């Protein structure tokens, strides 16, 4: 998958920009607050997804303007498409986010999903290592949802069942036949939960060799990463639910099951969450993101475009060099504040200054 060119109108602080990234590596340099992340975010819009900063439509439109347009020409292994995303503000005739592909109306922007695939690394993704288990579960669930629509159905069924059981646990003494009802809910939880666990574990094992290899490359073989899915219970789920029944009743919620699972990342045998430096954590997240992208390629046949926002800070020279010279065969767009990087990269360089994009080399 490649982004061949991009035209931006009235997007955040960018009034107008024409961007032609290299098929390999492009570096966008500029000081803080100039519009580098805004540019990456506009590329991401072509996936049909929400802004990766979780912003509302109105925030994406340049101040004092009525609408914003992001139009990109993207090519996959078998087609070239022109994706045009229009964002209409309150005063606009057409409100909200809509899309056209090759001039044909596609309705809501989300309907272009799949035409352009991309994986983002944003600084807040460091929470994948540092943060709570729900961010890590989301990483696996989001990837599986993107890859397999059947996973979304399974995931929703399971989560609905958890919500139902939690509601019952909170009103246990007011509900007639509560214990029989709990048995019925548990049967469904076991049916869906066991499948969910298996699919997550299968996915994680399938990308684990790649994650380990990426980390080995980024750290020039000096450190070893390992990763392991950690279930919230031992053995079989039915037995686990029976064993924790009293605890669940006391807690008022369902304390075991895939909704409480996690995965643990270790670097040289030590927990990355507690021991790793910022640079090591960044490298670990990057290894996960690159593996996620390779996983998408394995299923769709196309490697997604990598959008790496502020990934270089806190990485040592060797790690920066890896990112700036060795990520061939996959299109990557990287932002950085450090102008000293110019000498280190063989990529195409753009400068972003106050919303103006200029080519440097």
Ligand X SMILES: Nc1ncnc2c1ncn2[C@@H]1O[C@H](COP(=O)(O)OP(=O)(O)O)[C@@H](O)[C@H]1O
Query: Would you say 35 or 193 has its CB closer to ligand X?
Result: 35
Q: How far apart are the first and last CA of the chain?
A: 24
Q: How many residues bind Mg ion (CB under 5 A)?
A: 2
- Give the nearest residue (CB) to Mg ion: 37
Asked if 266 interacts with Mg ion (CB under 5 A), we say no
Q: Give the range of 4-12, 28-36, 270-278, 300-308 binding Mg ion by CB under 5 A.
A: 28-36
Residue 63 binds which entry of ligand X, Mg ion, none, CB below 5-8 Å type-dependent? ligand X
Residue 35 binds which entry of Mg ion, ligand X, none, CB below 5-8 Å type-dependent? ligand X
Segment holding 117, helix H or strand E: none
Minimum CB separation from ligand X for residue 38, in Å?
4
Query: Would you say 328 or 358 has its CB closer to ligand X?
Result: 358
Residue 257 exposed, middle or buried by CB count within 10 Å (0-12, 13-18, 19+): buried
Query: Would you say 39 or 162 has its CB closer to ligand X?
Result: 39
How do beta strands 356-359 and 348-353 pair?
antiparallel
Minimum CB separation from Mg ion for residue 360, in Å?
18
**325 Cβ contact list (under 8 Å, min separation 6):** 25, 344, 345, 346
Q: Give the range of 34-42, 183-191, 214-222, 321-329 binding Mg ion by CB under 5 A.
A: 34-42
Single out the residue of 26, 37, 118, 281 in contact with Mg ion (rule: CB under 5 A): 37
Minimum CB separation from ligand X for residue 12, in Å?
4
**Hey, which residues does 225 pair with through a beta bridge?**
267
Q: Dihedral, CA atoms, 188, 194, 195, 196, nearest 10 degrees?
A: 100
Minimum CB separation from Mg ion for residue 350, in Å?
14
Query: Would you say 40 or 296 has its CB closer to ligand X?
Result: 40
- How far is Cα 319 from Cα 56, in angstroms, rounded to an integer? 35
Degrees (nearest 5) of the Cα angle 222, 223, 226? 155
How do beta strands 118-121 and 305-308 pair?
parallel
Query: Would you say 36 or 165 has its CB closer to ligand X?
Result: 36
Site string for Mg ion, 207-236 (x = CB under 5 A): ------------------------------
Alpha helices in the chain (DSSP H): 36-45, 57-60, 127-130, 133-147, 149-170, 178-218, 237-243, 245-251, 272-275, 278-300, 317-325
* 305 Rama sector, left if φ>0, alpha if ψ -120 to 50, beta otherwise: beta
Interacting residues toward ligand X by CB under 6 A = 12-13, 30, 32-38, 59, 61-63, 352
Residue 18 exposed, middle or buried by CB count within 10 Å (0-12, 13-18, 19+): exposed
Minimum CB separation from ligand X for residue 198, in Å?
40
Query: Would you say 37 or 332 has its CB closer to Mg ion?
Result: 37
* 320 Rama sector, left if φ>0, alpha if ψ -120 to 50, beta otherwise: alpha
Residues 115 and 83: beta-carbon distance below 8 Å: yes
Q: Give the range of 32-40, 45-53, 134-142, 252-260 binding Mg ion by CB under 5 A.
A: 32-40
Residue 97 binds which entry of ligand X, Mg ion, none, CB below 5-8 Å type-dependent? none
Q: Give the range of 30-38, 259-267, 269-277, 282-290 binding Mg ion by CB under 5 A.
A: 30-38
Query: Would you say 37 or 320 has its CB closer to Mg ion?
Result: 37
Minimum CB separation from Mg ion for residue 100, in Å?
28
Q: At what angle do helices 133-147 and 178-218 cross, to 10 degrees?
A: 90
Minimum CB separation from Mg ion for residue 187, in Å?
49
Other Cβ atoms closer than 10 A to 156: 12
Residue 119 binds which entry of Mg ion, ligand X, none, CB below 5-8 Å type-dependent? none
Asked if 42 interacts with Mg ion (CB under 5 A), we say no
Interface residues toward Mg ion, by CB under 5 A: 36-37
């Amino acid at each position: 998958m490649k982004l061949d060119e991009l035209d931006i109108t009235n997007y955040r602080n960018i009034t107008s920009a024409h961007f032609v990234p290299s098929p390999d590596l492009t570096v966008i340099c500029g000081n803080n607050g100039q519009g580098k992340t805004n540019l990456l975010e506009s590329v991401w819009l072509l996936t049909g997804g929400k802004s990766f900063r979780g912003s509302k439509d109105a925030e994406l439109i340049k101040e004092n303007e009525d609408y914003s347009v992001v139009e990109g020409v993207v090519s996959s292994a078998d087609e070239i498409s022109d994706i045009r995303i229009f964002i209409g503000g309150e005063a606009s005739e057409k409100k909200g986010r809509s899309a056209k592909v090759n001039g044909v109306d596609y309705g809501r922007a989300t309907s272009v999903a799949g035409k352009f695939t991309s994986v983002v690394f944003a600084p807040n993704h460091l929470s994948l290592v540092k943060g709570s288990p729900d961010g890590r579960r989301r990483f696996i669930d989001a990837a599986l949802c993107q890859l397999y629509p059947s996973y979304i159905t399974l995931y929703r069924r399971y989560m609905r069942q958890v919500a139902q059981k939690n509601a019952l646990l909170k009103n246990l003494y007011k509900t007639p036949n509560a214990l029989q009802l709990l048995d019925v809910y548990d049967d469904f939880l076991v049916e869906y939960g066991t499948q969910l666990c298996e699919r997550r574990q299968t996915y994680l094992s399938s990308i684990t060799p790649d994650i380990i290899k990426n980390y080995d490359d980024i750290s020039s073989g000096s450190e070893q990463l390992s990763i392991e899915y950690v279930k919230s219970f031992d053995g079989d789920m039915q037995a686990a639910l029976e064993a924790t029944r009293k605890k669940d009743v006391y807690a008022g919620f369902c304390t075991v099951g895939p909704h409480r699972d996690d995965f643990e990342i270790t670097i040289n045998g030590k927990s990355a969450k507690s021991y790793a430096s910022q640079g090591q954590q960044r490298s670990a997240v990057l290894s996960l993101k690159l593996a996620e992208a390779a996983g998408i390629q394995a299923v769709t046949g196309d490697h997604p475009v990598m959008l790496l926002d502020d990934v270089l800070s806190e990485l040592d020279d060797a790690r920066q060099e890896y990112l700036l010279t060795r990520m061939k065969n996959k299109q990557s767009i990287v932002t950085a504040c450090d102008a000293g990087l110019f000498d280190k990269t063989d990529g195409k360089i753009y400068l972003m200054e106050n919303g103006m994009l200029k080519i440097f080399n």
